[in-house]
Amino acid sequence: MSIVDNEKEIIEDFDLFSDWEDKYEYIISLGRELPLISDQYKTEEHLVRGCQSRVWLHAEKQGANIVFTADSDAIITKGIIALLVKVLSNQPAIEVAKTDLDFINKIGLKEHLSPNRSNGLVSMIQKMKTYAAAYSAK
């Protein structure tokens, strides 16, 4: 599935819920399902700067695609990074680097986050795009 297909799937999933309490529960469940990042990547080098919580993000290139693994010490933040991993992992690095991630606005995520979490979301996206740009340049 493409990034656009993954975004459509998330939008459809969020449309199933009528209020943000249920949507937060869904985000939390995504965080619980996120495959664990290897302990070797829980380092300062892999921390996402700009997040109130601790978020570790690792990327590696597999063929033309980039594969992300991540973790966080905060349950909602872990769910947010899980959303991003779900959309961007196993995609061509060049596509990850240039995507706009329209689903974030379409599901209303940014407007339902505290300013600190919103800044963290932007930092996570920037780090993922930075990894992708570096891998697509190689």
Strands 65-72 and 91-92: antiparallel
Report the pLDDT value the prediction gives residue 104, as an integer from 0 to 100.
95
- Model confidence pLDDT, tens digit, residues 33-71: 998 899 999 999 999 998 889 999 999 999 989 999 999
Residue 138 pLDDT grade (very low, low, confident, very high; cuts 50, 70, 90):
low
Q: Which residues of 85-119 are buried (b: 16+ CB within 10 A; e: fewer)?
A: bbbbbebbbebbbebebebbeebebeeebeeebbe
How far is Cα 2 from Cα 108, in angstroms, rounded to an integer?
A: 21
Could you tell me the pTM of the whole model? 0.94
**Known catalytic residue: 51?**
yes
Domain 3-137 has CATH 3.40.50.970: no
- Model confidence pLDDT, tens digit, residues 94-135: 999 999 999 999 999 988 988 888 999 999 999 999 999 999
- Model confidence pLDDT, tens digit, residues 7-34: 999 999 999 999 999 999 999 999 999 9
Q: Which of 3, 27, 51, 132 is catalytic?
A: 51
